[in-house]
Amino acid sequence: MIRLDNITKIYQTSNGPVEALKDISLDVKEGEIFGIIGYSGAGKSTLIRLINLLEQPTSGSIKVHNQDLSQLTGKKLRKERQKIGMIFQHFNLLWSRTVAENIEFPLEIAGVPKKVRKERVKELITLVGLDGRGKSYPSQLSGGQKQRVGIARALANNPKVLLCDEATSALDPKTTNSILKLLVEINRNLGLTIVLITHEMHVIQSICHRVGVLDNGHIVEEGRVKDVFNHPKEDITKEFVKQVNESDEWASLIEEIISTHRSGKVVKLTFNGDIAEQPIVNDIYRDTSLTINIVWGKISHTQEGALGTLVLHIDSDQEQNIEKAIDFVESKGVLVEVIEHDAAIS
């Protein structure tokens, strides 16, 4: 669907050339939601703006539906861009136009007849949940409503691809979740391929099928969201995963357990899918009769089902009993990590 081959982007500045992206190759499958995560300055915005040629690559090729956009100019490029919608962090609405007029604007540019434009705008207003707000101006809308206008406008020309440039970064958590839910509905109901960039792992976890981690102009890790969460390889990926899997509360509770118990082990269990719904702790106790303290736990949801993290203190003065418990849990398909050894077991 979307393929980037050996993309490099160099900006010429007064202090010399700056290499924003370095030999990036990436495939996005048709109909998936692909997330690109990275810290500020990693090159995220440059990368997403290359997909619709708002930025020209210094080298490499960009193909969307097997069409090499990097070889197009003028009218041909503008025609292909109509197949790629884009929404922005700060909405980029026309403040002198109403909601309906903002949504209609790209259809005007495309030369769509007025009657057809009006019908399409009505459809889109309903699609994004803004019925009754067609005559409102952006200044009369909340942040979430403004972004819904931005989404409707991006969908006006029936694009095949939707690019989201930090689309929820300016929104509060509740509004963010409502916008993410809308994007998932659009993906499922319209079969739209979505590429989004963000610095928030919560966004990736909530709606993406796959993710690429961008650091200093390189894609350093890529894979299915649940695989990246369960087995992060790079240090930067581990930092992002901690945003949603761990917390200051989590760390302080572990420290307290370690300082007050001289036996046993603290273990982190990571599980997904149907396993997240199973009574793991009950099964451990039933099979081992060990003392088990639940230190911290969280179950969240991804596009591929539930994803859970559970931190336990397994207490025993017999090493082999703890190892038996760990083996039992691993036999259930749960990833087990020993976080800290307590005092040596005599």
Please check whether residue 50 lies inside any domain of the structure.
yes
The predicted structure's pLDDT at residue 320: 81
Number of domains in the chain: 2
Here the CATH number for the domain that contains residue 318 is 3.30.70.260
Residues 6 or more apart in contact with residue 69 via CB below 8 angstroms: 52, 53, 62, 63, 77, 80
Residues 168 and 147 in one domain: yes
- 217, 258: one domain: no
Which pLDDT belongs to residue 179? Answer: 96
Identify the burial level of 20 via C-beta atoms within 10 angstroms of its C-beta, where 0-12 means exposed, 13-18 middle and 19 or more buried. buried
Tokens 């300016």 belong to which residue? 170
User: Which of 294, 292, 329 is closest to 311 using CA atoms?
Assistant: 294
Q: Where does the pLDDT of residue 219 fall: very low under 50, low under 70, confident under 90, or very high at 90 and above?
A: very high
201 in the same domain as 93: yes
Residues 135, 278 share a domain = no
Q: Are residues 294 and 332 in the same domain?
A: yes
Residues 6 or more apart whose Cβ sits within 8 Å of residue 192: 31, 155, 159, 160, 161, 162, 186
Residue 229 lies in a domain: yes
Give pLDDT tens digits for 87-109: 998 899 999 999 999 999 999 99
The answer to whether residues 220 and 271 belong to one domain is no
Q: What is the pTM of this model?
A: 0.84
What single-letter DSSP state applies at residue 265? E
**Which tokens go with 38?**
């990275």
218-224 vs 193-198, strand pairing mode: unpaired
214 shares its domain with 305 = no
Whether 346 is in a domain gets the answer: no
**Distance of alpha carbon 120 from alpha carbon 331, whole angstroms:** 54
Residue 162 lies in a domain: yes
Does residue 238 sit in the same domain as residue 250? Answer: no
The pLDDT assigned to 259 comes to 66
**Range of the structural domain that residue 135 is part of:** 2-243
Q: Are residues 265 and 121 in the same domain?
A: no
Domain termination site, one of 204, 228, 243:
243
Evaluate whether residue 37 is within a structural domain: yes
Name the average pLDDT for the chain.
Answer: 88
pLDDT of residue 272: 73
Same domain, 66 and 163: yes
